[in-house]
Amino acid sequence: MTTPAATATTTGTAAPRTSLARIFVTEALHEFLKLIRIPIFAVSTITLPVMFYVLFGVALGGGEAGGVGATTYMMATYGSFGVIGAALFGFGVSVALERGQGWMRLKRVSPMPPQAYFVAKVAMSTTVSALIIGALFVLGATLGGVRMPAAQWFSLGLVLVLGALPFSAMGLAFGYLVGPNSAPAMLNLFYLPMAFASGLWIPIHQLPAFVQGIAPALPPYHFAQLALGTVGAAEGGPAALHIVVLLAFTALFLTVAAWGFRRDEGRTYG
């Protein structure tokens, strides 16, 4: 090792400004590179909802649900399922893994703008969500024979992408609550039953009555109902109610995450 010459030891206030946009782009790009270089995560997050849609929506479907074709209905529900998975795992597992490690501490002592970390993760989970939604739309339009006006495709896609927000917050809260090793298992224990009980796999009206009673307490139910609303298959309550409930859950999860973030400050250094 050699030493760099004392080039800029007296860097004053006239130093060029760092570009926030460039930092965000680099951070998001690296988040993406990290992911595609470990394909297991991406493959399972993307293929699971797509595979379920093909099996239960396209192969077994053919009937109708909620007043629309089953392939249309399930495009909305498995779309919700996929987006929730990408957000929960994209945030939950990575935050749980990274917060316990020196890497996060190194980032925290660097002049990285703190929001860059979260912007990169949001960009990442949005990209994965968009890939899932794109795959489902292509399968729906071809194998599923889904026919809708362009505006409906667009609004369904938009609702699905925006739905990542409350579940990113949920993943974040999880990431701060659970340990790095148990994170994937804990998330699955939570995610899969919750998805089932919210009517993401089997249309909600086909579920046992007591499950239908629980569903309104679960955030994915409200998300799925919003998505179904765009294709005219919603049941139970106006869209505004679902939006309010999801925003309330988002606030709750962010509060928990912020608490966990502060708790970490004391824990990282002993």
Q: Which residues bind other proteins (CB under 8 A)?
A: 1-13, 15-19, 22-23, 26-27, 30, 33-34, 37-38, 97-98, 100-106, 108-113, 265-270
Token code pair at residue 219: 């955030």
Instruction: Give me the least distance between CB of 131 and other proteins, in Å please.
Output: 19
Of residues 116 and 252, the one with the C-beta less far from other proteins: 116
Compute the least distance from the CB of residue 187 to other proteins, in Å: 19
Compare residues 104 and 211 and give the one whose CB is closer to other proteins.
104
Whether residue 71 contacts residue 145, with contact meaning beta carbons closer than 8 Å, is answered with yes
* 7's tokens: 């080039």
Instruction: Please state, as a whole number, how many other Cβ atoms lie within 10 Å of the Cβ of residue 201.
Output: 18
Shortest Å, Cβ 121 to other proteins: 13
Q: Are 66 and 73 in contact (CB under 8 A)?
A: yes
Nearer to other proteins, 114 or 238 (CB): 114
The answer for residues whose C-beta is within 8 angstroms of residue 55's C-beta and 6 or more apart is none
For residue 194 the two structure tokens come to 């919750």
Q: What is the DSSP letter of 16?
A: P
Cα separation, 140 vs 137, in Å, equals: 5
Residues 6+ apart with CB under 8 A from 91: 121, 125, 168, 170, 171, 172, 174, 175
Nearest residue (CB) to other proteins, 67 versus 113: 113
CA distance linking residue 212 with residue 8, whole number of Å: 66
Please report how close the Cβ of residue 88 comes to other proteins at its closest, in angstroms.
21
> Least CB distance from residue 127 to other proteins, whole Å?
17
27, 59, 69, 152 from 143: Cα distances, Å: 37, 9, 13, 19
Q: Compare residues 34 and 205 and give the one whose CB is closer to other proteins.
A: 34
Closest approach of other proteins to the CB of residue 218, in Å: 33
Between 61 and 175, CB nearer to other proteins: 175
